[in-house]
Amino acid sequence: MTTWDIICIVLNLAGALAIFLFAMKLMSEGLQKFAGSNMRHVLSRITGKPLSGIAAGAAVTAAIQSSTATTVMVVGFAGAGLLSLNGAVAVVMGANIGTTITAWIIALFGLGGAQEGVVFSLPMFLGALSLFFIFSKKDRMQYLGQTIIGLALLLVGMDLLESAIPPLSDSVVQTIATWSHWGFWSVLLFVVVGAVLTIVLQTSAAMTALILLMASKGWIEFPMALSLVMGQNLGTTLTAQVVAMTTGTTGRRAARAHLVFNVAGVLLCLLLFSPICNGIMAATGITDNPADPINQHRYPLAITIFHTLFNVATTVVLVFFIPQIVKIVEWMVPDKAEEGEEEFRLTYIEPNLLSTAELNLQSAKSEIEEFSKRVLRMYTFLPTLRTASSEEEFDATMSRIAKYEGITDRMEMEITRFLTRVGSGDVSQHASERISSMLRIIDNLESIGDTVYQIAMTRKNKREDAVHFDDTLNANLAQMSTLVGNALDIMDRNLHDYDHIDLDAAYEAESQINHFRDRLRAQHLDAVKLGVYNYAIGNAYSSLYALYEKLGDYVINVSEAIGGKRQQ
């Protein structure tokens, strides 16, 4: 074989793999865009029962062809408090089952198709069918067309990949065969090889295709192919650990749960490996000779059956141990110290954009919910400024409020930058409207933080000027603070589910704030006329209740932005 022959083989392999990966990406993105917000609705309706989480995880992952995308949404819902860690573990289990659909597509349509005359006829039919959707005026139909084209290219890419792989020399085949004759050590070796190759390829779909091709060409024996499948499952979890390094506690726990689940599944399968392997070989009619021509057509289906049974059986067994898995991952990833909340960090937004706007907006939504939690916590510091018994306590509280105000400024800047990057890409009309809504939300959340800081500074100036309020004025301000706090709680609840917000409750809270402000203002004007208190007291008092009312305006603006209402 000449150098030119080797170069041609490498180029053919690279081109075939590129088409295959591009097809998977095209199909996955089309499905994610087509599903849209329905993916979130499916996960948001998960109950505390494990079966609902498993079913949702399997359905969503099979639909969007990306377990990573499912994990991102799981992290977002768990971080927002809409999904417990137990539910997140169940969804991860279901996601493993959903990923097996890729192997079924390749096994049923992507291998051996040339002999059946469908390698090009089926993709051409799918490509022609997609034209009816692509030229539709509706975004969802265009996304469906993109999905169909992705499926057609996947079949073509699979055939090209199969054709591009050259026959191995007898010496190479013999060497691989030697690795298969070390008993149980060979099984462990191929598990490791499968994990490493999956990490290198960075996609389980490509690894699945490679395993099916190697087995169908007789390069590896059937038990070693099953070992590669187990290694592939481990490899996907290791990749997830790297991704989770930049996320918060919930994200790392979800990644650890995926690792614990798959490691436990591999260990259970290794204990019963021989009977499982022999049972599948007997059921599918596979012979012991890997070079037997009959195995070429039976290997892909048999391996796919094992892949599915492996994930389903592991789920059936480990579903009863979800509480124990939760305890393990909580031990592996302990809660961060409370003071960590006073350090700036983004929990859900990644440096690199995800594949679709829908998933990026889910990350942004979770980050905005975290933004809201910080603003609410910042607001809870204000009462301490009035009740502080020493200068040290007062100064410490002021320092915390100032630090939080700086954090809110940076969070607004980073989330705005992220949303701007998302909006500059190919987004649907719905996604574009959601980006505009989120930009209004974070602008008002930052304004809430600024107003809280202004209230704190007014309290500080009042203390420095030795201005004292009587019990009546303190009681009035305390009541105003309670009303605004109630409005903030309603706003925070609305941020958890954009499709089911309670605008009536938000407007009612805003109305109570305005009416009480009007009452305080009228009383204040009468008190000024009657000389009940001096100018310094009156000025500090009116400034405070006006700031609380101003804060309430920003709060209602957030709920209106969620509901798509115009700010007044």
pLDDT at 88: 74
% of the chain at pLDDT higher than 90: 20
Task: Record the tokens describing residue 491, joined without a space.
Answer: 């706003």
Q: Is the pLDDT of residue 117 over 50?
A: no
Name, in order, each residue with C-beta under 8 angstroms of 352's C-beta and a sequence gap of 6 or more. Answer: none
pLDDT at 172: 44
> What's the CA gap between 512 and 505, in Å, rounded?
11
Task: Record the tokens describing residue 441, joined without a space.
Answer: 């939300």
Residue positions counted in the chain: 568
**Using one digit for the tens of pLDDT, what is the confidence trace for 3-61?**
776 677 677 767 766 776 676 666 656 655 665 555 555 555 554 567 777 877 777 67
Q: Which helix (H) or strand (E) holds 315?
A: helix 293-318
Neighbours of 309 (CB within 10 A): 15
> What's the CA gap between 430 and 305, in Å, rounded?
40
pLDDT at 455: 95
Question: Could you tell me where the beta strands, DSSP code E, fall in 117-260?
Answer: none
257 contacts 325 by C-beta, under 8 angstroms: yes
> What pTM value is reported for the model?
0.55
pLDDT band at 566 (very low <50, low <70, confident <90, very high): very low
**Using one digit for the tens of pLDDT, what is the confidence trace for 298-307?**
777 888 888 8
% of the chain at pLDDT higher than 70: 65
pLDDT band at 259 (very low <50, low <70, confident <90, very high): confident
Task: Record the tokens describing residue 171, joined without a space.
Answer: 């010496």
> What's the CA gap between 133 and 142, in Å, rounded?
5
Task: Record the tokens describing residue 510, joined without a space.
Answer: 């805003």
Among 164-173, 174-183, 442-451, name the most confident range: 442-451
pLDDT at 295: 66
More confidently predicted of 164 and 94: 94
More confidently predicted of 118 and 101: 101
Q: Is the pLDDT of residue 168 over 50?
A: no
> What's the CA gap between 432 and 420, in Å, rounded?
10
**Using one digit for the tens of pLDDT, what is the confidence trace for 479-514?**
999 999 999 999 999 988 777 788 999 999 999 999
pLDDT at 180: 60
pLDDT at 479: 94
More confidently predicted of 164 and 321: 321
> What's the CA gap between 116 and 20, in Å, rounded?
20
Backbone φ, ψ for residue 35 (5° rounding): -70, -35
Q: Is the pLDDT of residue 122 over 50?
A: yes
Instruction: Give helix 3-35 / helix 50-64 axis angle, nearest 10°.
Output: 130
Task: Record the tokens describing residue 11, joined without a space.
Answer: 């180029």
57-72: average pLDDT: 64
Q: Report all structural domains of the chain as residue ranges with CATH numbers, in order of start.
A: 3-332 (no CATH), 340-563 (1.20.58.220)
51 contacts 175 by C-beta, under 8 angstroms: no
pLDDT at 81: 47
> What's the CA gap between 43 and 20, in Å, rounded?
29
Q: Coil, helix or strand for 401?
A: helix
More confidently predicted of 252 and 567: 252
More confidently predicted of 130 and 539: 539
489 contacts 545 by C-beta, under 8 angstroms: no
Cβ burial of 528 (10 Å; 0-12, 13-18, 19+) is: middle
Among 295-309, 357-371, 506-520, name the most confident range: 506-520
Angle at alpha carbon of residue 147, lines to 92 and 212, rounded to 5°: 65
Q: Is the pLDDT of residue 517 over 90?
A: yes
> What's the CA gap between 7 and 397, in Å, rounded?
68
pLDDT band at 340 (very low <50, low <70, confident <90, very high): very low
Cα distances (Å, whole numbers) of residue 413 to 349, 352, 416, 443: 13, 17, 5, 9
Looking at every residue in the chain, the average pLDDT score rounds to: 77
How many CA atoms lie within 13 Å of 30's alpha carbon, on the beta-carbon side?
21
Q: Coil, helix or strand for 83?
A: coil
pLDDT band at 170 (very low <50, low <70, confident <90, very high): very low
Instruction: Give helix 535-563 / helix 503-530 axis angle, nearest 10°.
Output: 170
pLDDT at 306: 87
The candidate with the shortest Cα–Cα distance to 439, out of 561, 275, 529, is: 561
> What's the CA gap between 107 and 305, in Å, rounded?
10
Chain CA centroid to CA 325, Å: 20
More confidently predicted of 283 and 251: 283
> What's the CA gap between 318 and 520, in Å, rounded?
61
More confidently predicted of 155 and 55: 55
> What's the CA gap between 47 and 38, in Å, rounded?
17
pLDDT band at 110 (very low <50, low <70, confident <90, very high): low
> What's the CA gap between 162 and 299, in Å, rounded?
14
**Using one digit for the tens of pLDDT, what is the confidence trace for 402-431?**
989 988 998 999 899 889 988 887 777 778
Among 96-110, 256-270, 422-436, name the most confident range: 256-270
